[in-house]
Amino acid sequence: MKKTPTRLADGRELVYYDVRGDRGATGRDAVDRRPLDAVATASEIRHDPLLGEWVAVTAHRQARTYHPPADECPLCPSRDGRLTEIPAEDYEVAVFENRFPSLAGPPGPAEAEDESGLFLRAPGAGRCEVVCFTSDHDASFADLTEERAALVLAAWTDRTAELSALPGVRQVFCFENRGREIGVTLGHPHGQIYAYPFVTPHTEQALRSAAAHRERTGGNLFDDVLAAERADGRRVVLETDHWTAFVPHAARWPYEVHLYPRRRVADLTELDEDARAEFPGVYLELLRRFDRIFGPGEPPTPYISGWHQAPLGPDGGKDWAGRTDFALHLELFTIRRTSGKLKYLAGSESGMGVFINDVPPESAAQRLREVASR
């Protein structure tokens, strides 16, 4: 892999990733000629005293780019006199700091804004990046070659290492939202990476469950769930030498798949070469099956896909019990429950956090096996 860092006109970092530096890597020294003002953010995080969770408040994001026409896409290469976020005339994979980040800047102390100390706020520290998987505006991740998918994995891994080293960062989340139904506002195939200044609520809950399981059984919860799913078999979607994909026993979403490496690791930086080599074929197969769930002639399936990685300790360290108990895995799901119908998060889900799934997980797994590549 060839990595080429540079800067955009407003000082934000841009990194090109190429399979090899001697092929197709021209123009990586192109200068961003746009007259951009420096990025101004107003991000803060506020603590919810009832739920014990942090919420980001980001007024500046109201002005972010919203559904531009294809010929004004900011993620396409800069060509034919049109300047974009990526100055090169072509690229393989490109990662840059988001111009409208939810989190940005160095950490700072939490401060109470009332005498009771209940209402805490702190700087919305961290970093948000955009990952462009290809320069082809009309493609999707599922259209990538295995070589290009491996390059995206290498970029995710490199960014995880870089962002984990930033002061105040507790967790790194690499993810993709695909489809307008999900809320995507840019049609170009891309994902994002968030570096949070706290451990996310989803992970906090998983760590509490893992700690209770270890106390009760002496085992690792993630290892035991994976072993139980493999032993049961009804919800396993596909298995290889180094990966297992399954619909979880208590899936929340109509079609939801969790992908685990066979060997437990904390984050992407710890994957061995065999797992890395096998991942592109496995992941591309899963994405292509998702696009076949609802039959021929259906529009592409909207989905969210994200890597759940172990958090860092309060001091940024890796020798922390919450980290060693965690297992890297990818979660992939769609909000489409059947042809032409979406699953909305209505009263029970949004109001109380109690999900109601119309598709039995065993049926979802069966369907995902039926649409395997022949």
CATH of residue 132? 3.30.428.10
- Three-class DSSP category at 324: helix
What pLDDT shows up at residue 307?
98
Identify whether residues 226 and 251 lie together within a single domain: yes
Contact assessment for residue 217 and residue 335, using Cβ atoms and an 8 Å cutoff: no
What pLDDT shows up at residue 333?
98
What pLDDT shows up at residue 119?
96
Distance between CA atoms of residues 44 and 195, nearest Å:
14
- Category of 224 on φ-ψ map: left (φ > 0), alpha (ψ -120 to 50) or beta: alpha
Range of the domain at 208: 202-370
β-bridge mates for residue 54, sequence order:
47
Number of neighbouring beta carbons within 10 Å of residue 197: 25
Of 155, 178, 198, which one is at a domain's C-terminal end?
Answer: 198
Identify whether residues 220 and 314 lie together within a single domain: yes
Distance between CA atoms of residues 294 and 301, nearest Å:
8
Catalytic residue among 47, 188, 190, 213: 190
Contact assessment for residue 293 and residue 334, using Cβ atoms and an 8 Å cutoff: yes
Identify whether residues 207 and 353 lie together within a single domain: yes
Identify whether residues 272 and 176 lie together within a single domain: no
What pLDDT shows up at residue 23?
59
Is 190 part of the annotated catalytic residue set? yes
Of 198, 233, 267, which one is at a domain's C-terminal end?
Answer: 198
Q: How many separate domains does the chain show?
A: 2
Identify whether residues 244 and 167 lie together within a single domain: no
Contact assessment for residue 112 and residue 168, using Cβ atoms and an 8 Å cutoff: no
Of 198, 226, 261, which one is at a domain's C-terminal end?
Answer: 198
Does the global pTM surpass 0.95? yes
- Three-class DSSP category at 332: strand
Ordered mean pLDDT values, 10 residues apiece, the chain (374 residues): 96 96 78 92 94 95 89 96 97 97 94 93 97 98 98 98 96 97 95 97 97 97 98 98 98 98 98 98 98 94 98 86 91 96 95 97 98 90
Identify whether residues 173 and 207 lie together within a single domain: no
DSSP 112: E
Identify whether residues 231 and 313 lie together within a single domain: yes
Residue with the two structure tokens 């799934």: 357
Identify whether residues 192 and 211 lie together within a single domain: no
Distance between CA atoms of residues 276 and 58, nearest Å:
36
Identify whether residues 8 and 80 lie together within a single domain: yes
What pLDDT shows up at residue 300?
95
Identify whether residues 15 and 160 lie together within a single domain: yes
Distance between CA atoms of residues 83 and 86, nearest Å:
8
Residue 138, Cβ density class (10 Å: 0-12 exposed, 13-18 middle, ≥19 buried): exposed
Residues 6+ apart with CB under 8 A from 45: 54, 55, 56, 57, 103, 121, 122, 123, 124, 125, 197, 198
Identify whether residues 121 and 211 lie together within a single domain: no
CA dist 106 → 14, 71, 195, 196, 223 (Å): 19, 36, 11, 11, 35
Identify whether residues 255 and 107 lie together within a single domain: no
